[in-house]
Each structure stands twice: as structure tokens, then as C-alpha cells.
Amino acid sequence: MRRPTLQQSVEEAVNEYLDIMEDQPVRDLYEMVISQVEPSLLNCVKKHNRDNQSQMAIMLGINRATLRKKLRKYSLL
């Protein structure tokens, strides 16, 4: 059995959420998804790189200043 891709997992989670919401209005879905996914992504990368911000930035493809800003945003520093 093939493991689901990250994209498939996200699609499944979003579809489940929309199904649960049924007829209720959904607003700011993009921001909601990003605010849930981004801290988890940062945490995983942080652990994988043993808090080495230079390596984290390389892995994420962002500069260190942007990384630090995101880490502060989610209280991960």
C-alpha cells in the first residue's frame, strides 16, 4: 500500500473540515490552514536540525531572518 503524499494528506484534512462545517460559512480558510501547518512544519524542521537555524533555513528554502521572524511568531525561539 502506498503512503499518501503530503498534498493528499492536506487535501483530505481540508475536505474533512469542509464536510464538518456543512452549511456554516467558512472564512479565512487560507490563513487558518497556514496557521495550523506552519508551526508544525517549523517544529519538525527544528527537531530534525537540532535547533540549528542556518540548517533549518536551508532546508526550508528561506533566509534566516525570515525563519527567526516565523519562529518568534509561533513562540518557537
Q: Mind listing the pLDDT tens digit for each residue in 23-65?
A: 999 999 999 999 999 999 999 999 999 999 999 999 999 999 9
pLDDT score for 1: 84
CATH 3.90.45.10 correct for 39-77: no
pLDDT score for 41: 98
Model pTM score: 0.81
Q: Could you tell me the three cell numbers for 29?
A: 480558510
Domain spans in the chain, listed from the N-terminal domain onward: 39-77
